[in-house]
Structure 1
Amino acid sequence: MNTQLDTPVDDYFRSHLPNQTEAGGRKWLYPKATSGRYTNWRMIVSWVLLACLFAGPMIWVDGHPLFLFNVLERRFIFFGVTFWPQDFYLVAIGLITFIVFVSLFTVVFGRVFCGWACPQTIFMEMVFRKIESWIEGDYKARQRLDDAPWTTEKLLKKSAKHAIFFLISFLISNTFLAYLIGRDQLLAIIIDDPGNHLVGLFSILIFTGVFYLVFARLREIVCTTICPYGRLQGVMLDKNSLTVAYDYIRGEPRGKKVRGERGAGSLGQGVNAPPQALNPPPPALYPLPQAPRPAPKGDCIDCKLCVHVCPTGIDIRNGIQLECINCTACMDVCDEVMTKIDRPRGLIRIDSLNNIAQSVPFRVTGRIMAYSGVLLALLGLIGYLLASRPPLDLTVLRAPGQLYQHEAGQVISNLYSLEVINKTYKPMKLAIHASRADANLRFVQPLGTLEPGTLTKVMFFIDLPEQTITQNSTPLTLDVATNGEVLHNIETTFLGPVK
């Protein structure tokens, strides 16, 4: 019997946000702190990710940062590999690959990224919320403090909390700035007179205010309303996805437990069954009238602790909801309750709807295989493009607005511009020669040595004897070599008169 269908369904949650009051205003949430195996693992993952975030711009490889997203100079570094505007196709393919990976991960594991790896959740739950609890007390003390009139104690606690919030937001802003301009440039700005960097200081204060607003006021609204990923998960999940789910078959009907009472959900006639249930008496000779027995209750005792610990304020017993970020806090607190009432843990667990309703275990569906195939193809493509990416990027163009010039000795010359990017971390000295033996190259500026990760522009002339020119546009090949090895063959054209 499906107990969920026999239980009245409260549809209030479908038309009202969990942080919404009856009048339509915002209801401030006070999540209860949790402990347990999942909370402990979340803390370990969070501190590792926070360490990686703050250490990222400080780690350098071969004289270059491990990560850099310099939008102004159009220079990006991922894991020590430099990407220039000419490599934007690699960045675009990488973003597509990341989106496909997130889609596959969501199809299989739901919105677990939001609860375990999202910077918003990590900072909110593992940094700002803990500071708030340290200063103002547990969730009940915070609620009492907010409802109380303004006193000296309340003013001091609120001032200290928001001052620390602002300082941490300022630190986060500087960390993100280090990812944009680099460690050395940030340190130079810090040491230098702030009056010389008013625009940068003003920008930092704006971003600090944004981070402060997010963690001090918006909080769960970012996850439930602003973040686009939360909206997309609804079209990615299906009944086979593994999400934080409530076993309604085992848990319903809800109700307080009486000592010695047997639950209907999972134990059956086991440890909690009365002795007469294990050894039933022989049948009576004559049937005796018996009082009707109440329907057995499920394992859920309706303590509502799963609601109290939820950072977005939902009731997971209502089913999968958009606001659920799969933080597993409800799983820890429910396991504690099940242990206390001598019931098996896992009333709220990571499971699929099909397994709960029909005992169908997780299986690899065609949708998962399709996402996996696309992801593997994109990873293979990125690997091939990175392996075959040339160390130099060269562009040769004829000078705009110029045709050809007559030089002494019946020589025709064309003016060209050369733009070359050294994508390696080693200096390189180039030599450029024309494939034709009668062609002569004259550089306006010396090409010199190309420094690692730099862009160089030079101008040069190509001279050809006038009697060898037989057409208006003559194809010409330039060989680019370093250490005697030809790296590139550049095709261009040479303009000249035809008699």
Structure 2
Amino acid sequence: MNGQIPTREKMTTIGDGGKRFWLYPAKFTGEWLNRRRVMAVVLILFFFILPWIDINGSQAVLLDIADRKFAFFGLVLWPQDFSILWFFAAGTAILVLFLTAQWGRLWCGWACPQTVFLEHVFRRIEIWIEGDARQRRKLDQAPISVSKFSKKALKYVIFIAISSHFANTVLCYFVGTDQVLHMTFQDPRENWGWFTFMAFFNFMFFVDFAWFREQFCLIACPYGRFQSVLLDSDSMIVGYDYNRGEPRGKLRKNQERTEGDCIDCNRCVAVCPTGIDIRQGLQMECINCTACMDACDEIMFKVNKPPKLIRYTAIADLEGRVRRFMRPRVIVYLVLVLALYGAGTYLMLFNRGLKFQIVRPPGQSFTLSEADAVVSNHFEVKATNRSEAIWTVTTEVPAGFEVVTPRNPWEIPAEETATLPIFVRKQKTLFNTSGKERAVVTFRDERTGAVLYQTEVTLMGPAQ
């Protein structure tokens, strides 16, 4: 190593007194920016179009919390499928560990909604209206004028319009596109809860991208702080080749350079959306967005030096060691991810029959008919049909008991949850002295007579 890497122990956007330093990232071009823009367009279109796609009669992705219905690309999950959701949630959490151990903060720089919308939508609109970094800084420092007011007003009106569209799309994921379209033409007071939900998201989205910006990555998001335990020396990072670049030295005309390839132009700092100097090594604020890579390559081409002074690399590579792609921790992560996703997929594909749940509603424990001295206990049955077929079910109780229900046989639609009230009755004189009796309730397939579900319920009655 030819030079000492400087260290920094405070955030670049916050001063000693807690004052925020506003960032004005400079414009740049490059192959990595072009690739990220293609990715951003795909992700943005996917986000806005997905709720309008119908698969097997259901919205492609629907998180209907009110009706406790969750649809994912043609598969419908219910609260009874919590175990399936747990396998996928746990698998996704470990997948994050695996991806970070291998490829660092690739998610942050390429696919995180914060980066995608800020760098490829809001920042581009801001540059289009207010100009490059120098012009934006000059405009913010200038006194209020007609020109400044008109530019700021136009920018914020466009920001609010985008934020509103985003909030309504988020609402589509939780309510459904049909319901959102229906509510759009109604008085907000008729859907006050959902209107408040949408307005809150609209406000938060606007504040985030108009003002909070990189502070979300630096302060609110915990992912950057997890780097110290998620990354190792073989993880991929955006890194500065200090062996090649140090010691730094300014480029002087007609004079042979004796320093490293870095000409200390600070172009990598000027384009950074979080304001860091990548030459100071791996930092919590770095989101691996590749902006410094493009900016540095542009300078290297101008000074006739090889590109990739800043590149995708690993600490092991920068230290002259061979990067290990497969390590014990990575193998363990991968095995766990495959096992959890495999178990969830198996349950989702092969556990698609009927699921029953029988509960006693709150309220009176039993009723006594004085006319015929019959004790009646009320229960509610919830059946979730996770198959694509309609089931017809009959309800039975043992001899000595009687079941009264409005539908027997009971038809349960495909991929839906149905509820059925049942009353299990028994003569008062046949109750034991404790006032409690046990009865087995059986649900059978009407077509085949096969037992689909059987459970024992406790009947409450008057003590003798």
Task: Give the superposition deviation at 1:253.
Answer: 0.7
Task: Give the superposition deviation at 1:482.
Answer: 5.3
Work out whether 1:217 is the aligned partner of 2:211: yes
Equivalent residue number for residue 489 of structure 1: 453
Mapping of 1:454-469 within 5 angstroms? 454-461=417-424
The secondary structure found in structure 1 opposite 2:325 is coil
Q: Partner letter of residue 244 of structure 1?
A: V
Can you list the C-alpha shifts for 1:35-89, whole angstroms capped at 9, x where unaligned? 2111111011111111111112111212211111222332222223222222223
Equivalent residue number for residue 350 of structure 1: 312
**Aligned with 1:423 (options 374, 386, 391):** 386
Equivalent residue number for residue 322 of structure 2: 360
Task: Give the superposition deviation at 1:440.
Answer: 6.0
Equivalent residue number for residue 117 of structure 1: 111
Task: Give the superposition deviation at 1:456.
Answer: 1.7
Q: Partner letter of residue 448 of structure 2?
A: G
Contact 1:70 1:181 survives alignment (8 Å): yes
Equivalent residue number for residue 171 of structure 1: 165
Distance 1:118 1:482, change over 3 A: farther
Work out whether 1:297 is the aligned partner of 2:259: yes
Distance 1:410 1:83, change over 3 A: same
Task: Give the superposition deviation at 1:365.
Answer: 1.2
- Structure 1, unaligned runs of 5 or more: 264-295
Q: Distance in 1 between matches of 2:374 and 2:156?
A: 76
Contact 1:67 1:78 survives alignment (8 Å): yes
**TM-score under structure 1 normalisation?**
0.83
Mapping of 1:6-405 within 5 angstroms? 7=4, 9-11=5-7, 13-14=8-9, 16-21=10-15, 24-258=18-252, 296-397=258-359
Q: Distance in 2 between matches of 1:402 and 1:200?
A: 36
Task: Give the superposition deviation at 1:380.
Answer: 2.0
Task: Give the superposition deviation at 1:24.
Answer: 3.9
Distance 1:397 1:151, change over 3 A: closer
Contact 1:445 1:460 survives alignment (8 Å): no
Distance 1:496 1:18, change over 3 A: closer
The secondary structure found in structure 2 opposite 1:257 is coil
Q: Partner letter of residue 340 of structure 1?
A: K
Q: Distance in 2 between matches of 1:187 and 1:38?
A: 39
The secondary structure found in structure 1 opposite 2:454 is strand
The secondary structure found in structure 2 opposite 1:156 is helix
Identity of aligned residues (%): 36
**TM-score under structure 2 normalisation?**
0.89
Q: Distance in 1 between matches of 2:206 and 2:460?
A: 65
Q: Partner letter of residue 2 of structure 2?
A: T
Distance 1:397 1:312, change over 3 A: closer
Equivalent residue number for residue 453 of structure 1: 416
Q: Distance in 1 between matches of 2:33 and 2:12?
A: 23
Matched residues, number = 459
Q: Partner letter of residue 492 of structure 1?
A: E
The secondary structure found in structure 1 opposite 2:223 is helix
Q: Distance in 2 between matches of 1:438 and 1:429?
A: 25
Q: Distance in 2 between matches of 1:318 and 1:303?
A: 15
Contact 1:352 1:362 survives alignment (8 Å): no
Distance 1:414 1:177, change over 3 A: closer
Deviates more, 1:349-358 or 1:192-201: 192-201
Q: Distance in 2 between matches of 1:388 and 1:196?
A: 42
Deviates more, 1:375-384 or 1:399-408: 399-408
Q: Distance in 2 between matches of 1:359 and 1:262?
A: 31
Q: Partner letter of residue 430 of structure 1?
A: V
Contact 1:444 1:461 survives alignment (8 Å): no
Q: Partner letter of residue 478 of structure 1?
A: T
Contact 2:394 2:445 survives alignment (8 Å): yes
- Structure 2, unaligned runs of 5 or more: none
Distance 1:193 1:413, change over 3 A: closer
Deviates more, 1:210-219 or 1:33-42: 33-42
Can you list the C-alpha shifts for 1:460-485, whole angstroms capped at 9, x where unaligned? 43679x99x9x985663624215426
Max radius of gyration: which structure? 1
Distance 1:406 1:159, change over 3 A: closer
Q: Distance in 2 between matches of 1:219 and 1:393?
A: 46
Q: Distance in 1 between matches of 2:272 and 2:460?
A: 77
Distance 1:485 1:176, change over 3 A: farther
Contact 1:104 1:368 survives alignment (8 Å): yes
Distance 1:378 1:199, change over 3 A: closer
